[in-house]
Amino acid sequence: MSNVQHANDIYAAFGRGDIPAVLGMFHPEIEWREAEGNPYQPDGTAWVGPQAVLERLFMRIGGDWDGFTVNVHRLHDAGEHVVMEGRYTGTHMASGKPLDAQVCHVLRFRDGKLASFQQYVDTSQLQAVMAPR
């Protein structure tokens, strides 16, 4: 199976809300980096391991957003890397503000598992949407 197919499977499982399946596609030592300035990890330091991603990001997204969706527009094959171009959409529950932000992810695979993730997004837009009214 190609790395593009692995990436597609991860995004499809996330879209269905099947977080156990998503975590099962992660390498045990995955390094996950949010864009610097992202409200969930402002300094961009990597979270290591599926449990860290679950607790520090996925659980928070589930509680913070209504209808949060990763809309995948393109997946680009770059060997062990896959680049995703897309958009984030949803409504932040605390602020009531909608989000429609361009996003890019760089995913690196090892042995068919997601070994690293790097997000690029307009963090100023995220901060504005997530700011209280």
pLDDT for 73-103, tens place per residue?
Answer: 999 999 999 999 999 999 999 999 999 999 9
Residue 112 to residues 27, 29, 66, 125: CA-CA distances in angstroms?
8, 13, 31, 33
Q: How many CB atoms lie within 10 A of CB 114?
A: 24
Identify whether the C-beta of residue 38 lies closer than 8 Å to the C-beta of residue 130: no
Cα–Cα distance, 1 to 104 (Å, whole number): 23
Q: What is the pLDDT along the chain (133 residues), one digit of tens a residue?
A: 899 999 999 999 999 999 999 999 999 999 999 999 999 999 999 999 999 999 999 999 999 999 999 999 999 999 999 999 999 999 999 999 999 999 999 999 999 999 999 999 999 999 999 998 7
The domain locations on the chain are 3-130
How many beta carbons lie within 10 A of that of residue 45, not counting itself? 11
Q: 3-130, what's its fold?
A: Nuclear Transport Factor 2; Chain: A, (3.10.450)
CB-based burial of residue 107 (10 Å sphere; 0-12 exposed, 13-18 middle, 19+ buried)? buried
Q: What is the pLDDT of residue 1?
A: 80
Q: How far apart are CA 132 and CA 85, in angstroms?
A: 29
